[in-house]
Amino acid sequence: MLTLATQAEGEPGSGALAEPEIFASLQGEGPSAGYPCAFIRLSRCNLACHWCDTAYTWHFTGDNRPHRDGLVFERRANQLVLSEEEAAARILALGQNRLVITGGEPLLQGAALARLAALLPDMRIEIETNGTVAPHPALDGQVAQYNISPKLAHSGNPADLALPPERLTAWAAEPRATFKFVIATPDDLAEVLALAENYAIPRERIMLMPEGTDSATLRERECWLAPLALEHGLRLSDRLHIHLYGDTRAT
């Protein structure tokens, strides 16, 4: 069974069935930006980025980890459980040949994802992960691409939790892994360059993406981030889905 986020916040006790966050859209960021994809968003995360734009997947009532918006979400209204068979049927009905598995932190549910992937043998699967969890062995062989987003100091997570050396070393050696770093200020680049140096991460596999959940903020930050990417030979990632749809679920 898979634990998923919902497409909209439900009303606990209303009796209405929540819809799982399984949808078709254009990939908005990272190495596959612009491709039409099916998406499945899982619930739960082992980190707590204070600027997280999907806090409804983990910041539930009773969770005292900080978030800048100060919002907490009712678990029963924002989380549901679905069988791998039902999830696969919904994904296939979208008619796409690429699947993006995101979260939350998807690799916390590695065994269930392996069973889901086995039901989708013709789909190209990519996983978006914070890079702290090793892929389940039964899942790993079914994944075409890992989009690793290590969390820098400005995320508010302690480095020993967010940047485990053994995982960074393993991902740097994994040719299917691209590193996508969220950048909030120009000073964040120094941390990216230090990680690249310490773990021998090839620069052609590093992307810089501005932090922001509205077009104005993204454009403002790209004005200074683009020259830095050019100077250091790194790729720039926009957040296309924010420009197209805003900061909304199931997009």
Instruction: Dump the DSSP string for 20-69.
Output: BSEEEEE--SSTTTT-EEEEEEB---S---TT-TTGGGT-BTT-----TT
Amino acid at 100: V
pLDDT tens per residue across all 251 residues of the chain: 999 999 998 765 555 678 999 999 999 999 999 999 999 999 999 999 999 999 999 999 999 999 999 889 999 999 999 999 999 999 999 999 999 999 999 999 999 999 999 999 999 999 999 999 999 999 999 999 999 999 999 999 999 999 999 999 999 999 999 999 999 999 999 999 999 999 999 999 999 999 999 999 999 999 999 999 999 999 999 999 999 999 999 99
pLDDT, residue 70, reads: 87
Nearest to 72 by CA among 80, 82, 81, 61: 61
pLDDT, residue 119, reads: 98
Q: What is the dihedral of CA 20, 128, 228, 200, to 10 degrees?
A: 170
Say how many residues make up the chain: 251
Where b means 16+ CB within 10 Å and e means fewer, 221-251 reads bbeebeebbeeeebbbbbbbbbeeeeeebbb
Domains and CATH numbers, the chain: 2-180 (3.20.20)
Q: Which two tokens stand for residue 63?
A: 């969770």
pLDDT, residue 13, reads: 53
What CA–CA distance (Å, rounded) separates 81 from 89?
15
pLDDT, residue 11, reads: 63
Distance, C-alpha 216 to centroid of its chain = 22
At residue 129, φ and ψ (nearest 5 deg) are -145, 155
What CA–CA distance (Å, rounded) separates 35 from 111?
27
What CA–CA distance (Å, rounded) separates 233 from 246?
30
Whether residue 83 contacts residue 22, with contact meaning beta carbons closer than 8 Å, is answered with no
Provide the whole-model pTM: 0.96
pLDDT, residue 12, reads: 54
Measured between its terminal Cα atoms, the distance across the chain in Å is: 24
Q: Which residue shows structure tokens 């981030």?
A: 225
